[in-house]
Structure formats: structure tokens, C-alpha cells
Chains A and B, each alone.
Chain A
Amino acid sequence: MKIDIILAGVGGQGILSIASIVGHAAVKKGLYMKQAEVHGMSQRGGDVQSHFRLADREIYSDLIPKGQADLIISVEPMEALRYLPWLSKEGWLITNSKPFVNISNYPEEAVLMAELDKQPRKVVIDADRIAKEAGSSRSANMVILGAASPFIQIEFEAIENAVQEIFGKKGEEMVSINLQCLHAGRDFAEQHKDN
């Protein structure tokens, strides 16, 4: 078993907390894991990505080979498309639909959505709205993780437990909001993953 994930977003959007939750769950299961992160200059509002690899055998490369990622998980729609060369022919693209516009030549939203629509296997979800409804606009990344969870071969319960452990320090309310976001994302993906 192996699962290779490209996590994408803009510096400061919290892609690394998605990685740390899945990593936490995976390591408890005794899986091998490698996760290459971007630190330094690009974190200042630039595009950031993380190569996240899980397997039941030793992992060599810290980087996922192009054309072999099973999933792209993105908290920003244009950033999701930036990593298509890494996605395998059977891979799924899970992305937030809410653009993060910090450049003047950001594509028109309609054009961007039309491009996303062309992708054969995808879940496009308004994670910002769902997170806001749940009571924490900063938990959009947990909605995205929930939407990606049906495609990650780790029991959902293990991911829930990891959320509980990682947000535990921030109090019961944060745990419950983040779990709610996780569930909302998962439900949406279960309903929309066939089209």
C-alpha cells in the first residue's frame, strides 16, 4: 500500500496542519511516512506545496515523482491546478473553491471554475463557507481534509482521533468545531464524488 499526496495552498493557509493530522494518524498505524515542506522565502504569501507520502514499506524519495500522486489536496483552487503534472491518471483532485487573491493578474473566477470542471475526478468544495457556518472561518483546512478523507486509506476514526489530540490543547470547543468541519467535508465528498 502507498498513498502519495500533494498538499497545496498559499503560504499561511495551514496546509501543514492537514499534513500533521494525517501524519499523526499514519504513524500510529505504523506506516512509513515522508513529508517534504517548503520553508523560507516562499512562505511570504507565495505558492507553497508539501509532498506527503505514506507506505507500508520504506519510502526513498522525499519528492513524489511527477505523474504518480494519488491525490492533490488544495486549500486554494488555482493552486490545485498548479500541481496537475504530479497527479496520476487515476488520481483525485480535492480543492477549496474559494480563491485567495493576493496578485493582480489572478484569473477570472468563472474561467478558473470552468477549468476545474474539466478535471475528470474531483471534489470542489466551498470550505470557507462551511467552516464559517460551523463557527470558525479558520478551520477551512479541516473541511478540505474531511473532503479528502474518503480517498485516504486510513480509517476515518483514526483521523478523528488525531484531530482530537492535536486540537486538544486549544480546548473542547475548538475540537468540536474542527470535528464538525471534518464531518461536513466528508459528507460533501461522499455525495459529490461520483460526478
Chain B
Amino acid sequence: MSKLLLLGDEAIAQAALDAGLSGVYAYPGTPSTEITEYIQHSKQAVEDHVHSEWAGNEKTAMESAIGMSYAGKRALVCMKHVGLNVAADPFMNSAITGANGGLVVLVADDPSMHSSQDEQDSRYYAKFALLPTFEPANQQEAYDMTYEAFDFSEKYHIPVLLRVTTRLAHSRAGVARKAVRAQNPLKIENNPKQFILLPANARIFYRELLDKQEPMEKEAEKSRFNRYFQGKDKSLGIIASGIAYNYVMENFIGSESPYPVLKISQYPLPVRMIAKLVDECEAVLVAEEGYPIIEEQLRGLLNRTGNTKGRLDGTLPRDGELNPNLLAKALGLPDTVGAPVPELVTPRPPALCQGCPHIDTYVALNEVMTQYGPGKVFSDIGCYTLGALPPYSAIYSTVDMGASITMAKGAADAGLSPCVAVIGDSTFTHSGMTSLLDAIYENTPVTVFILDNSTTGMTGGQDSHAFGRLGAICKGLGVEEEHIRVINPLRQHHVENVKIIQKEIEYQGVSVIIPTRECIQTLRKRVKAKKNND
């Protein structure tokens, strides 16, 4: 079969389908979004009735995937790294229940924060939960390891964390496929207590989880994804995990590494392989994309041997994404660089699109807020976060999904007045509804803008769960009907909108303003698609 040219994300999606996937569950989040989108557009998935609708958030996605695994079918759940914080509760406990049908948790980390608020490393979560991690180095391994992760999950009755980073997720290469496997039949777990985590049961299952660690470590020792390459020069040994392996090897193209290299892609860590490298080499360089989790364990709290190099001793930078040049320097090889960037080159930050409805909302909001001074608008995660930049400079916080409303509430509790929250329609249904309920419960004086552009804009226009029912949701949660105001964010309605905003900000209770106008990008796509169909 000829190779397919696939993004790392797409390779994972295709592998899951070929491995007999019955459902993918996800909330959009860069750099993981393309996995679910690929499955949604796959003819193979449609024909095999593979579930692929978006979930409300990462927690609901994780729980649905556990449910599908409970029913004996293979499930994939996908999220970006910070999404795992949202899904942490079911994730941690899925280690205790274990899996019935193969359960793979794909987490895409974002070192260098290309599109994120932190660069947390999901391998810590897997270690914390005592779950195995698969960390492919390239697109072919992304395919192969995903395919095999489902078998591993069923063999050990355990969820598998599949960890990639932005670079692999969004880079394309040729990928060879394996044979398509049929989906599992419906079959619930033999032990009816398996998913009942009452303390008496959970204690037993936790011990079982502990007992799985040794055989899983043995699997890692013999895994074809963990490889030991001999090298003549024993003054240094190199441990390279995941994609960091590529940056090491890029420096030895056309020759072999003079130093022994241990490539690690499957965890729990293959301790014997590591011991072999440490024993035969004078010093060890650890290259990992993300946090120095292997390096930290190898070095130990006291760093008694003093011969571990990596991100902790400054051989590599402590933060940010790795690249071939950083590894060249770490290996003491000549580094290459072209001409410097001329001074006239200025940054070109991302900006709200021309015609974006958020622009009109921010212009109106800014006009009202001028009288109250800065620091009183809390915001959230989405395109509208770009309102933090000039010329708007309209918002003062962006922390996590849903935090705008609850931060505004906390600041109002502290005595700050007025307090305004700005949140998108999709972010609101992801994590804002319970925040709003907190404010309603105490009738806290906050004004919440739910920017309804009828889509999940920042990640490319996925359907929003709130579509057509934002007003009804707010009313159902208990916002007084006269304080739910739908406005049309257009320049021609500016004066009228400013009046409404002013009035609701003055109201000493919970008010919700819903500026409603379709995202300019999805509108364009829709018009274009219609034109093509006509």
C-alpha cells in the first residue's frame, strides 16, 4: 500500500480507525483538534458508524470514552494538555477502574506555548495516575503506537496515555497503514464491581494497578519503540525521548552517533536500559521535549554523581521547544546560523479578523468602561482573548476555560465594582455555566458578556453546544429574564448597544448580555460552500 501524507494528528486518527475504533470524544483544542476533525470527515468512519461528535468539554469527553470502554468497545479521547486538567478527575480514576474495551487518551502538549497559556508536560499526569505513556517520535510511530496502544490497553485492562507535542501534531510525513481491524462486539466487564469505586473496591483495584507496574515496565524494556543504539565513544551517553530523538539524530546525518543513544518512547521507563547506558558512559545527556521528567529522576534530589546533563544544568534551556540547533550546542558540535533578522522586521501578532463581531462588542464595551477606569473586565480563552492587545486593550485576565465569570464574581465579592466578564459561547458551555450559577446563587453584581458567534472560532469553527439556546440556558440557570439582553454587535447599532451595556453594568445583580453575530470566518465558509453547491 502506498504511503499517505498525514499530519501527526491525522496519523493518530487513521490508526485509531484502522485499530477498530468505535468512538472518539474530544473538545477542540490546539494542537489536538485535527484528530477528531479527520475522523468526522473520514468515509471509513461514517461507514463504520464511528462516534465523532464534539463533547461539551474534556471531562465529559473522558467520561463518555470510559463509558464506551465499559461497554467493551474501543474509545479514543483527545485533548490539548490543559484539557487534561479539566479531565483530571475521570482520568485519574480511570486508572483505578481500568479499561474494558481499549481506551486511549491522546494528549497534545504545547511546549513554547504556540497556542496555550502554559507548557505543562502530560507525562507527569501519567506517572501520577500510574498509567503507561506512549510517546511517538515521528508520524509513522504516531500511527503504529496508536494502533498498538489499543491492544496494550486491552491486554493490561488499563487506559494508555498517548502523548504528542505541537511539532509532531502539526507536521506532515508519509505514513504506511496496517490492516483494518473490526470493531469489538458489545461486551460488559465480567466483574460487576469493576467500575464501582467504593473505597472497599477501590483499595483492591489500586493494588492491582500497582501490581501492573512491573509487567508494564518489562513491556517497555522489550518494546520496539524503545531502542538502544551502540556507540564507540563512552564519554557521553544520550537519552532522547519522543520527538527529541529526531533533534539528536539530525546532528548525525550521514554518519552514526559516536555516543550510545537510548531512544525512549514507551513508559513506565525501561529502567534496565537506562542503567546500562549510565553504567557504560561517563556522563549522560537527557533530551526531552517538555519538562525534564526523566532527567530529574536520573539526577535525583542530591545530584550526587553530577554527570547528568540536560535542562536542569543549563546544557539545554529549561523552558521551550527543542530544535536541532539547541542539540548541536548541547553535543558540542559546530552550530549553524544564517544572517540576523534585519531591524526593520516588526512583529506581526495575531489579530481579530476584519469584520469580526468581537470588535464591535469591544468598542462598545470600552466606551462604557472608560468612566470606571481600567482593570474591571475579566476574560476567557478564545479569539476574544485578542481583545487584550491594542487597539482594544479591553480585558485584564485570561486564565483558564470559564474563569472569566468566577474571577469577576470573586473580585466583586472583594468589593471591586463594576465587574464584567467576557466569555465565548462555546467556552461558556465548556466551563462557564457552573460559574454563572455561583453568581446567580448569591446574586453577585456581575455583568456577563456571552459572545455568541455560533461557533468555536479560535480552533477553526467547530459547532458550539450552545447554538440557539444561550438565552434559554441563562434563563434556566436563573438569570432574571429582563436582564438577559441580546444585542447585535454592528457599528450601526453602536449607540443603542452602549446604552444597554451601561444600564446592565449599573444593575446590582447578575445580568447577561449576549452579542449575537456569526463568526466572519464561518460565514465566509458557509457562503462559499453554498456558492459551490448552487
Q: Which residues of A contact B342 (CB under 8 A)?
A: 81, 84, 115
Q: Which one of A32-40, A139-147, A186-194 is at the B interface?
A: A32-40
The answer to whether A36 touches B338 (Cβ under 8 A) is: no
Once A61-B250, A87-B339, A89-B338 are accepted as A-B contacts, the answer to whether A42 and B114 lie under 8 Å apart by CB is yes
The answer to whether A105 touches B346 (Cβ under 8 A) is: yes
Name the distance in Å between B317's Cβ and chain A's nearest Cβ: 15
Q: Which one of B167-175, B218-226, B362-370 is at the A interface?
A: B167-175
Is B383 engaged at the interface, CB distance under 8 Å to the other chain?
yes
Is B500 engaged at the interface, CB distance under 8 Å to the other chain?
no
Is A23 engaged at the interface, CB distance under 8 Å to the other chain?
yes
In the complex, which of the residues A32, A46, A59, A91 contacts B348, with contact meaning CB atoms closer than 8 Å? A46
Q: Which residues of B contact A62 (CB under 8 A)?
A: 167-168, 171, 173, 243, 246
Once A10-B348, A41-B115 are accepted as A-B contacts, the answer to whether A65 and B328 lie under 8 Å apart by CB is yes
Write the chain A residue with the least CB distance to B351: A45
In the complex, which of the residues B114, B172, B353 contacts A41, with contact meaning CB atoms closer than 8 Å? B114
The answer to whether A39 touches B250 (Cβ under 8 A) is: no
Name the distance in Å between A167's Cβ and chain B's nearest Cβ: 14
The answer to whether A63 touches B336 (Cβ under 8 A) is: no
Once A67-B337, A107-B344 are accepted as A-B contacts, the answer to whether A36 and B328 lie under 8 Å apart by CB is no
Contact code string B5-30 (vs A, CB < 8 Å = 1, else 0): 10100000000000000000000001
Contact code string A124-164 (vs B, CB < 8 Å = 1, else 0): 00000000000000000000000000000000000000000
Is A3 engaged at the interface, CB distance under 8 Å to the other chain?
no
Q: Which residues of B contact A78 (CB under 8 A)?
A: 344-346, 348
Q: Which residues of A contact B349 (CB under 8 A)?
A: 46, 103
Q: Which residues of B contact A79 (CB under 8 A)?
A: 348
In the complex, which of the residues B114, B338, B347, B386 contacts A67, with contact meaning CB atoms closer than 8 Å? B338
Write the chain B residue with the least CB distance to A52: B172
**A41→B5 CA distance, assembly (Å):** 24
Name the distance in Å between A119's Cβ and chain B's nearest Cβ: 8
Contact code string B73-92 (vs A, CB < 8 Å = 1, else 0): 00000000000000000000
**A80→B343 CA distance, assembly (Å):** 13
Once A40-B459, A69-B338, A103-B346 are accepted as A-B contacts, the answer to whether A27 and B174 lie under 8 Å apart by CB is yes
The answer to whether A23 touches B323 (Cβ under 8 A) is: no
Is A112 engaged at the interface, CB distance under 8 Å to the other chain?
yes
**A155→B328 CA distance, assembly (Å):** 34
Q: Which residues of A contact B351 (CB under 8 A)?
A: 44-46, 102
In the complex, which of the residues B168, B174, B250 contacts A32, with contact meaning CB atoms closer than 8 Å? B174
The answer to whether B336 touches A66 (Cβ under 8 A) is: yes
**A87→B340 CA distance, assembly (Å):** 10
What is the total number of residues of chain B having a CB less than 8 Å from a CB of chain A?
Answer: 50
Write the chain B residue with the least CB distance to A103: B348
In the complex, which of the residues B5, B170, B325, B336 contacts A33, with contact meaning CB atoms closer than 8 Å? B5
Q: Which residues of B contact A176 (CB under 8 A)?
A: none
**A42→B33 CA distance, assembly (Å):** 15
Is B249 engaged at the interface, CB distance under 8 Å to the other chain?
yes
Write the chain A residue with the least CB distance to B459: A40
Q: Which residues of B contact A61 (CB under 8 A)?
A: 246-247, 249-250, 323-324
The answer to whether A81 touches B174 (Cβ under 8 A) is: no
Is B352 engaged at the interface, CB distance under 8 Å to the other chain?
yes
**A18→B346 CA distance, assembly (Å):** 25
Q: Which residues of B contact A107 (CB under 8 A)?
A: 344-346
Contact code string A55-71 (vs B, CB < 8 Å = 1, else 0): 00101111101111100
Is B58 engaged at the interface, CB distance under 8 Å to the other chain?
no
In the complex, which of the residues B338, B345, B386 contacts A66, with contact meaning CB atoms closer than 8 Å? B338
Q: Tally inter-chain residue pairs, CB-CB below 8 A.
A: 154
Name the distance in Å between B401's Cβ and chain A's nearest Cβ: 15
**A23→B172 CA distance, assembly (Å):** 10
Write the chain B residue with the least CB distance to A2: B253
Q: Which residues of A contact B339 (CB under 8 A)?
A: 84-85, 87
The answer to whether B336 touches A39 (Cβ under 8 A) is: no
The answer to whether B173 touches A34 (Cβ under 8 A) is: yes
**A78→B345 CA distance, assembly (Å):** 6
Q: Which residues of A contact B7 (CB under 8 A)?
A: 37
**A86→B76 CA distance, assembly (Å):** 38
The answer to whether A44 touches B174 (Cβ under 8 A) is: no
Is B302 engaged at the interface, CB distance under 8 Å to the other chain?
no
Name the distance in Å between B524's Cβ and chain A's nearest Cβ: 11
Is B498 engaged at the interface, CB distance under 8 Å to the other chain?
no
**A47→B346 CA distance, assembly (Å):** 10
The answer to whether A82 touches B247 (Cβ under 8 A) is: no
In the complex, which of the residues A36, A41, A112 contacts B344, with contact meaning CB atoms closer than 8 Å? A112
The answer to whether B336 touches A67 (Cβ under 8 A) is: yes
Name the distance in Å between A7's Cβ and chain B's nearest Cβ: 12
Is A185 engaged at the interface, CB distance under 8 Å to the other chain?
no
Write the chain A residue with the least CB distance to B30: A40
Write the chain B residue with the least CB distance to A27: B5
Once A65-B328, A106-B346, A112-B344 are accepted as A-B contacts, the answer to whether A39 and B172 lie under 8 Å apart by CB is no
Contact code string B373-384 (vs A, CB < 8 Å = 1, else 0): 000000000010
**A35→B351 CA distance, assembly (Å):** 25
Q: Which residues of A contact B246 (CB under 8 A)?
A: 60-62
Q: Which residues of B contact A45 (CB under 8 A)?
A: 348, 350-351, 353
The answer to whether A38 touches B247 (Cβ under 8 A) is: no
**A68→B249 CA distance, assembly (Å):** 15
Is B458 engaged at the interface, CB distance under 8 Å to the other chain?
yes
Name the distance in Å between B451's Cβ and chain A's nearest Cβ: 15
Is B31 engaged at the interface, CB distance under 8 Å to the other chain?
yes
Once A44-B351, A67-B336, A91-B338 are accepted as A-B contacts, the answer to whether A39 and B346 lie under 8 Å apart by CB is no
The answer to whether B171 touches A40 (Cβ under 8 A) is: no
Once A10-B348, A38-B114 are accepted as A-B contacts, the answer to whether A65 and B31 lie under 8 Å apart by CB is no
Is B341 engaged at the interface, CB distance under 8 Å to the other chain?
yes
**A86→B324 CA distance, assembly (Å):** 12
Name the distance in Å between B533's Cβ and chain A's nearest Cβ: 14
Contact code string B383-416 (vs A, CB < 8 Å = 1, else 0): 1001000000000000000000000000000000
Is B530 engaged at the interface, CB distance under 8 Å to the other chain?
no
Q: Point out which of A36, A42, A81 has the most chain B C-beta atoms below 10 A from its C-beta.
A: A36
Q: Which residues of A contact B247 (CB under 8 A)?
A: 60-61, 63
| 6 tightest A-B CB contacts, nearest first | A67-B336, A40-B30, A40-B115, A46-B350, A61-B250, A62-B171
18 additional contacts, CB 8 Å, given A41-B350, A69-B338?
Answer: A10-B348, A23-B5, A23-B172, A27-B3, A32-B173, A32-B174, A34-B171, A35-B173, A42-B114, A42-B115, A60-B245, A62-B246, A65-B328, A85-B339, A87-B338, A87-B339, A107-B344, A107-B346
